[in-house]
Structure 1
Amino acid sequence: MYSNIDTVKPSYDILEVTINNNEKIRLDQTWAEPYRMMIYTSFDKYQHYADDGYVDSMTYYRKGEKGAIRRIQYFFASHLANQQENILQYPAWLKRYIAHALNKNVETIQVDKISFTYNEKGFATIISKKNLLSQ
């Protein structure tokens, strides 16, 4: 069911995950959907942390604000936030997770963001490819 007409965008972005230097992972089967969702949604969150210098913004929630309730909120938020050392362990975790999902040995992992557009005939044309993670 659709609620609105989808508009044509000037470009679209997708993530391409490559393992062992040349194998692009494909998780398009129905049974693999939970793995696909975990990989791509967790990588999106990791990318936000990377853009913010590997710091969870919750660390600073309500910091320096006056009032007892705000200080209590800051205390809990800063203690529940992901610590930088945990954020930096994500690439190694992702490699292990993909190895488990595919049931194979994963030596290297590379994640690229590919931007593309559709030409007048409806074929996808790659605009750019940017490496986001290599390990």
Structure 2
Amino acid sequence: MHTSKIRSVARIVLGAFLAFAGVSHLTFNRSEFLAQVPKWLPVHPDLTVVLSGIVEISLGLALIFIVKNRKWVGIITAVFFVLIFPGNISQYINKVDAFGLNTDKARLIRLFFQPVLILWALWSTNALKKKNQ
């Protein structure tokens, strides 16, 4: 399979994952996401979950359907993954059970997947490529 096809498939899979996660923020996984909102965040936890769900749906759809500006979509998605990382750290530090992560080991391992998501967003949208390459 050609590299650009692999990137396209990876981009679409990530987009579908994000859109699904966003929908789950607003519906069946709402309480799980509420458990991850850091207590120090100055925004009401439910509003945080709703807004992040809307952002995830938007980014997911953008990854799937926006082709012309896909590098920017990739960069914005990577930034989003960086911005939500404190929620994962909070879940680990505060020993919050959510999404089946009910041990310190499972919560710690989850932290190492965030950089993978960041790189996935950047690689699949070709955002890491220099402009003149």
Q: TM-score, normalization: structure 2?
A: 0.30
- Compare the two structures and name the one with the higher helix fraction: 2
- Compare the two structures and name the one with the higher strand fraction: 1
